[in-house]
Amino acid sequence: MTRSDFDGRKALVTGAGSGIGKGAALRLAAEGAFVGLLGRTERELRETLDEIRALGRDGMVLIADVSRADEMQAAFEGFVAQTGGLDILVANAGINGTWAPIDELMPDEFDQTVAINLRGTYLTLHFGVGQMKENGGAIVVVSSINGTRTFTTPGASAYSATKAAQLAMVQQLAVELAKHRIRINAVCPGAIETKIEDNTAVRNRAGAEEPVEFPNGDIPLTDGEPGSVEAVAEAIAFLASDAASHVTGSPLWIDGGQSLLR
């Protein structure tokens, strides 16, 4: 992958104010893309934009709740009106939500996780694909090892269901979008150093947990240490680049072997 891969390309990243979304936005910008930074917290998005401009690159802030169709439509239309198109789309925004035994997980808690993680992904693709059909492009959905290769996080039934559904959407759409020269893939991170725990509510973990003894340090590649945002961002950049021109409908697990032990 060379610097020219993203020169002149227009990218949009949801959840770009922190964590993996911010890392992906910075990585794409560093390689030359103009990046739309979509999220709900303007202060965080402005900070990401400042860091992009410090690299000598540029982007724009797009304030939207990924679960709101009207806000997402306005954000995508505003982005394309300014840039003239959309080449790369990263559907990253998501929450852990509430982790609790299924009989204690309240309907509104389940609905919130689905609204942001799954409806948010649908709306991102719904409004993004229409802007990409004419010229093609690349989409990366940020899923997880949860729901795709592991099912051991106590109480994470809503979260795991949304992550499994994201991968199913990616594989379904890989065929649908191929005729438009749009590639779509998923990254499935394990433990990564982000602040996603800030939007996690854990209740009665013991009620949903099946006691299991894992090896000391359950991430074998790093002796139990979580991976970095940069490692995930690098994978996203690869999947969005011409180096992955024949890759579509594929999950890429980024977990240091964690899911192979669990």
Asked about 122 being catalytic, the answer comes back as: no
Predicted pLDDT at 2: 44
**Which residues of the chain have a pLDDT value below 70?**
1-4, 194-199, 203-217, 262
Write the CA distances from 252 to 88, 191, 242, integer angstroms: 18, 14, 17
Predicted pLDDT at 214: 60
Type of residue at 33: A
Residue 58 CB neighbour total at 10 angstroms: 12
Cβ proximity of 32 and 7 under 8 Å: yes
Domain 3-261: CATH architecture, name and number where available: 3-Layer(aba) Sandwich (3.40)
Predicted pLDDT at 222: 78
Distance from the first to the final alpha carbon of the chain: 33
**Digit-coded pLDDT (tens) for 194-216:** 655 656 777 666 665 656 666 56
Predicted pLDDT at 98: 95
Predicted pLDDT at 3: 45
Is the Cα dihedral 106, 107, 111, 112 positive or negative? negative
Type of residue at 169: M
Q: Any idea where the domains of the chain sit in the sequence?
A: 3-261
Cβ proximity of 252 and 187 under 8 Å: yes
Predicted pLDDT at 109: 97
SS3 185: strand
The packing angle between helices 120-132 and 157-178, to 10°, is 10
Q: Which of 122, 159, 238, 253 is catalytic?
A: 159
Burial (CB < 10 A; 0-12, 13-18, 19+), residue 7, is exposed
Give dist(CA 72, CA 248) in Å, integer: 25
Burial (CB < 10 A; 0-12, 13-18, 19+), residue 171, is middle
